[in-house]
Structure 1
């Protein structure tokens, strides 16, 4: 099998592993590129790869673990709150991941609380369905240690995971009502769509103005969202509803058709429980072809 064949067949899997490990599209692409470069070098040396799929999964995971360890140092120095890079799930290989829920921004933020090794073991076992012996070999531990890693990570995740996921139709309808109410400045209607303990997170990366810390509570969040969209409208910007990370989201697009921000909605029990607003331009370039081309 040539490296081109490997790339075409296995890139979706490699990208899904790297992205869910790192929460960054650009960093995931770097890891995948490095993994395939190493696979190519192995093939060039004439070495036999018995299972390309297992080989690429191992390379990608180990590279992602190393990358995440160094990335965490940078994220500790990040200006404001760090959020994952949003992913257009309808147009990327990551949509082939076995569960859409595992791509949600809320889930990726939750995974940030795990150690790199816990995160790898949990994703390989719980999301990608690898048997424990393979997971143990990939992360470099015994099977017993791997079971403990996964168990601890699973307990941690289950305690903090959303209470109840809505159907896609319910999510889409709720998103339409949310952005309509926010655009109209209808605070009462907006509050009705939010859980009492809703949280608004924002990531400007120190490059654009953004909240310095999360905002809690339906009343405060409704006022902030409504005011923010009103300011955008005054500047000639519009909201386009789409899907990011398997969730409904609004794209804020300026008069020149450039993307200047996204707002993703995490929904549970028929209401919005978390909002992730990302305006750091470095995290939006891959979603904005016109800007990335420039």
Structure 2
């Protein structure tokens, strides 16, 4: 197999692991490129690589752990709330629904509370279904420690993980109704779509005027959204429904058709539970192409593993 063919085969999973580890497209791309460069250098030294797939997964995981450790210090100095860089994804087939859920902004935010090693062990086990012995080798620990890492992470994530009980079609319809109510300034209709304890999170990164703290509660969130979208409309901003990180959302474009904002909606029990809005322009420059996002959603479930 040629180097380009090998890269094309291995890159989707490598990026899928790196992005879920880091919540950043740009950082994930850097990690993937570094991993492939290191593999190429190893091959140039005529060192045998028995399994390129396992080799790349190991490099990406370890590089992502190191990157996440250094990134956390930067995120502590971040202006306002830090949210992941969004992906605009292609509507995924039903069989990839669980993988899409692991890509959601709400899920990635939840993973931020795990240690880098916990995050790696949990993702490799729960999302990519690696066996424990392989995970232990990937993250440089033993099987018992790996099981402990996964168990602690699983307990924490299950307490806060959003559950998407509505069908994909129901979620899309609710997103359309949400957009219509917000654009029309119909507060009663908007409030009816929001959960009582809904939370609005906004990431402007200090680059644009934005909320620096979450807004909580149905009434406050509805008023904040209505006022914000009305301001955008007066400035000629166009809003459209899109799929963001495998879940319903909206995209905002200015009069020059430039992307100026992305909003992801977490929906459960027929209501919007959480809204994540990213307006930091640095996080909108790497919106992945639909084809890449589709590969990310489908980047490998491992059959035949057990708990």
TM-score by length of structure 1 reads: 0.94
Partner Cα separation in structure 2 for residue 238 and residue 144 of structure 1:
53
Rounded to whole Å, the distance in 1 between the matches of 2:60 and 2:283 is 22
Q: Which residue of the partner structure matches residue 134 of structure 1?
A: 134
Moved over 3 A (4+): 95-98
Deviation of 1:5 (Å): 2.1
In structure 2, C-alpha distance between the alignment counterparts of 1:97 and 1:182, rounded to whole Å:
27
1:248 aligned counterpart, secondary structure: strand
2: CA distance between counterparts of 1:42 and 1:96?
Answer: 35
3-state SS of 1:264 partner: strand
Q: Is contact 1:202-1:277 (8 Å) kept? A: yes
Distance 1:97 1:163, change over 3 A: closer
1:288 to 1:254, Cα distance in 2 relative to 1, 3 A: farther
Residue ranges of structure 2 left out of the alignment (5+ in a row): 290-307
Q: 1:164 to 1:100 in 2, by over 3 A?
A: closer
Distance of 1:255 and 1:83 partners within structure 2: 26
> Is the Cα–Cα contact under 8 Å of residues 39 and 56 in structure 1 kept in the other structure?
yes
Q: Deviations over 1:118-169 (max 9, x none)?
A: 0000000000000000000001111000000000000000001114432110
C-alpha distance in structure 2 between counterparts of 1:17 and 1:97, whole Å: 17
For 2:99 and 2:171, locate their aligned partners in 1 and report how far apart those are by CA, in whole Å: 16
Gap runs ≥5 in structure 1: 290-294
In the TM superposition, residue 288 of structure 1 has moved relative to its aligned partner by: 9.1
Query: Greater CA deviation, 157-166 or 54-63?
Result: 157-166
2:81 and 2:267 map into 1 onto residues whose CA distance is 21
2:303 is matched with which residue? none
Mapped to 2, the partners of 1:143 and 1:56 lie a distance apart of 20
Aligned length, in residue pairs: 287
Give yes or no for contact 2:91–2:243 (8 Å, CA) kept in 1. no
| CA shift for structure 1 position 88 | 1.7
Per-residue CA distance 1:72-129 (angstroms, 9 max, x = gap) = 000000000000000122299xx98961100000000000000000000000000000
Q: Does 1:44 align with 2:44?
A: yes
Counterpart check, 1:188 vs 2:179: no
Any idea what SS the aligned residue of 1:72 has?
A: helix
TM-score (norm 2): 0.90
